[in-house]
Copies of this chain bind each other. A is one copy, B any other.
Amino acid sequence: MSASRPSSAALTPLRHVVAAQQFDRERLSELFRLSAEMERVRSGGGGQLLPGRIMATLFYEPSTRTRLSFEAAMLRLGGQVIGTENARDFSSAIKGETLEDTVRIVAGYSDCIVLRHSEEGAAARAAEVSPVPVINAGDGPGQHPTQALLDLYTIQSEIGHLDDLHIVMVGDLSHGRTVHSLAYLLALYRGLRVTLVAPDRIRMSQGVIEHLLKHGADVRETEDLMGAVTDADIVYQTRIQVERFSEPWEEAEDQRRHFRITEEVMTRLPQSAIVMHPLPRVGEIDAAVDADPRAAYFRQARNGVSVRMALLQTLLGR
Binding site for B on A (CB under 8 A): 45-47, 51-54, 56, 62-65, 67-69, 71-72, 75-76, 78, 80-87, 89-92, 95-97, 101-102, 104-106, 108-110, 239, 243, 279-282, 298-299, 301-302, 304-305
Contact B54 A75 (CB under 8 A): yes
Contact B62 A91 (CB under 8 A): yes
Contact B45 A52 (CB under 8 A): yes
Known: A76-B52, A76-B54. A108 touches B279 (CB 8 A): no
Q: How far is the CA of A102 from the CA of B68 in the complex (A)?
A: 12
Question: Hey, which chain B residues are within 8 Å of A96, CB to CB?
Answer: 280, 282
CB distance from A108 to the nearest CB of B (A): 3
Known: A64-B91, A109-B305. A46 touches B56 (CB 8 A): no
Q: How far is the CA of A68 from the CA of B56 in the complex (A)?
A: 9
Tell me which of B106, B280, B301 contacts A95 (CB under 8 A): B280
Pairs A-B, 10 closest by C-beta atoms: A46-B52, A108-B302, A97-B280, A96-B282, A72-B109, A92-B280, A45-B52, A75-B80, A71-B82, A62-B90
Contact B105 A301 (CB under 8 A): yes
CB distance from A111 to the nearest CB of B (A): 9
Contact A110 B72 (CB under 8 A): yes
CB distance from A90 to the nearest CB of B (A): 4
**26 pairs across A/B with beta carbons < 8 Å?**
A45-B52, A46-B51, A52-B78, A54-B72, A54-B76, A62-B89, A62-B90, A64-B91, A65-B92, A68-B83, A68-B106, A71-B109, A72-B82, A72-B109, A85-B86, A95-B239, A95-B243, A97-B279, A97-B280, A97-B282, A101-B280, A104-B298, A108-B299, A108-B301, A108-B304, A109-B305
Contact B305 A68 (CB under 8 A): no
CB distance from A45 to the nearest CB of B (A): 4
- Given contact pairs A45-B51, A72-B109, a sample of 19 additional A-B residue pairs in the complex whose CB atoms are under 8 Å apart: A45-B52, A46-B52, A46-B54, A47-B52, A56-B68, A62-B89, A62-B90, A64-B91, A64-B92, A68-B110, A69-B109, A75-B82, A85-B86, A85-B90, A95-B243, A96-B282, A97-B280, A104-B298, A109-B305
